[in-house]
Amino acid sequence: MGEVVALPDGVQAGSPGHLLTLLRAGSASTRPQLAAITGLARSTVAQRVDALLATGLVIEDGATASTGGRPATRLRFRPDAGLVLVGDLGATHARVGVTDLAGAVLAEVAEDVDIAAGPGAVLDWLGAHFADLLSSIGRSADEVRGVGIGVPGPVEHDSGRPVSPPIMPGWDAYPIPEHFAERFPGAPVLVDNDVNIMALGEYWTSFRRSVDDLLFIKVGTGIGCGIVASGRIHRGAQGAAGDLGHVQVPGYEDAVCRCGNVACVEAIAGGQALADRLRAAGHDTRNARAVVELVAAGDRDAIRMVRDAGRTLGHVLAAAVNFFNPAVIVIGGDVANAHEPLLAGIREVVYQRSLPLATRHLRVVHSQLGDGAGIRGASAMVVEHLLAPATVDELVTTAAADRAAN
Amino acid sequence: MGEVVALPDGVQAGSPGHLLTLLRAGSASTRPQLAAITGLARSTVAQRVDALLATGLVIEDGATASTGGRPATRLRFRPDAGLVLVGDLGATHARVGVTDLAGAVLAEVAEDVDIAAGPGAVLDWLGAHFADLLSSIGRSADEVRGVGIGVPGPVEHDSGRPVSPPIMPGWDAYPIPEHFAERFPGAPVLVDNDVNIMALGEYWTSFRRSVDDLLFIKVGTGIGCGIVASGRIHRGAQGAAGDLGHVQVPGYEDAVCRCGNVACVEAIAGGQALADRLRAAGHDTRNARAVVELVAAGDRDAIRMVRDAGRTLGHVLAAAVNFFNPAVIVIGGDVANAHEPLLAGIREVVYQRSLPLATRHLRVVHSQLGDGAGIRGASAMVVEHLLAPATVDELVTTAAADRAAN
Task: Determine, for residues B237 and A327 on separate chains, whether the beta-carbon distance falls below 8 Å.
Answer: yes
Number of H helices, E strands in chain B: 14, 14
Measure in Å the smallest separation between the Cα of B313 and chain A Cα atoms. Answer: 13
| pLDDT tens readout for residues B279-303 | 999 999 999 999 999 999 999 999 9
| Residues above pLDDT 90, as percent of chain B | 73
Distance CA B199, CA B319 (A): 19
Of A46-50, A69-73, B126-130, the one with minimum mean pLDDT is A69-73
What is the per-residue DSSP string for A209-264? TT-S-EEEEEESSSEEEEEEETTEE---TTS-TT-GGG-B-TT-TT-B-TTS-BSB
Q: Are B307 and B341 in contact (CB under 8 A)?
A: yes
Query: Measured between beta carbons, which residues in chain A are less than 8 angstroms from residue B213?
Result: 234, 236-237
- Measure the CA–CA gap between A170 and A160, rounded to whole angstroms: 15
Chain B residues whose beta carbon lies within 8 Å of the beta carbon of residue A188: 1
Bin A112: left if φ > 0, else alpha if -120 < ψ < 50, else beta: beta
Kindly list the residues from chain B whose CB atom is less than 8 angstroms away from the CB atom of residue A397.
2
| Buried/exposed B194-227: b ≥16 CB within 10 Å, e otherwise | bbbbbbbbbbbbbbeeebbbbbbbbbbbbbbbbb
Q: Could you tell me if A336 and B256 are in contact, meaning their C-beta atoms sit under 8 angstroms apart?
A: no
Smallest Cβ–Cβ distance between B250 and the set A211, A246, A251 belongs to A251
Which pLDDT band, with edges at 50, 70 and 90, does B4 fall under?
very low
List the single residue in B12, B239, B324 with the smallest CB-CB distance to A241. Answer: B324
B236: nearest CA partner in chain A: A325
Residue A387: exposure state from Cβ atoms within 10 A (0-12, 13-18, ≥19)? buried
Does pLDDT of A5 surpass 60?
A: no
Laid out side by side, the sheet with A144-151 consists of A105-112, A93-99, A83-89, A144-151, A189-193
Beta carbons of B323 and A251 less than 8 Å apart: no
A121 pLDDT tier (thresholds 50, 70, 90):
very high
Closest chain A residue by Cα to residue B318: A247
pLDDT at B330 over 80: yes
Helices (DSSP H) in A325-372: which residue ranges?
Answer: 340-353, 356-359
A-B C-beta contacts closer than 8 Å: 196
Distance CA B403, CA B406 (A): 5
Task: Give me the mean pLDDT over the A152-171 stretch.
Answer: 91
CA distances from A295 to A273, A337, B127 (A): 15, 9, 63
- Separation in Å, CA of B395 to nearest CA in chain A: 6
Domains and CATH numbers, chain A: 16-57+391-405 (no CATH), 81-198+373-386 (3.30.420.40), 209-368 (3.30.420.40)
| pTM score of the predicted model | 0.89
pLDDT tens profile A299-348: 999 999 999 999 999 999 999 999 999 999 999 998 998 878 999 999 99
Collapsing DSSP states into helix, strand and coil, what is residue A24?
helix
pLDDT in tens, A262-286: 999 999 999 999 999 999 999 999 9
Q: Which one of B11, B210, B243 makes the best mutation probe of the A interface by having the most chain A beta carbons within 10 Å?
A: B243
The CA–CA distances, whole Å, from B74 to B33, B60, B70, B291 equal 10, 6, 12, 54
What 8-state DSSP symbol labels residue B214?
A: E
Q: What is the mean pLDDT of chain A?
A: 91
d(CA B294, CA B290): 6
Distance CA A170, CA A182 (A): 22
Q: What percent of chain B has pLDDT over 70?
A: 95
Q: How many other CB atoms are found less than 10 A from the CB of residue B6?
A: 8
Q: What is the largest CA-CA distance in chain A?
A: 79
Cβ density class B364-400: b for 16+ within 10 Å, e for less = beebebebbbbbbbbbbbbbbbbbbbbbbbbbbeebe
Distance CA B389, CA B397 (A): 12
ipTM of the complex: 0.88
E strand or H helix at B228: strand B223-229
Give the H/E segment covering residue B217.
strand B214-219
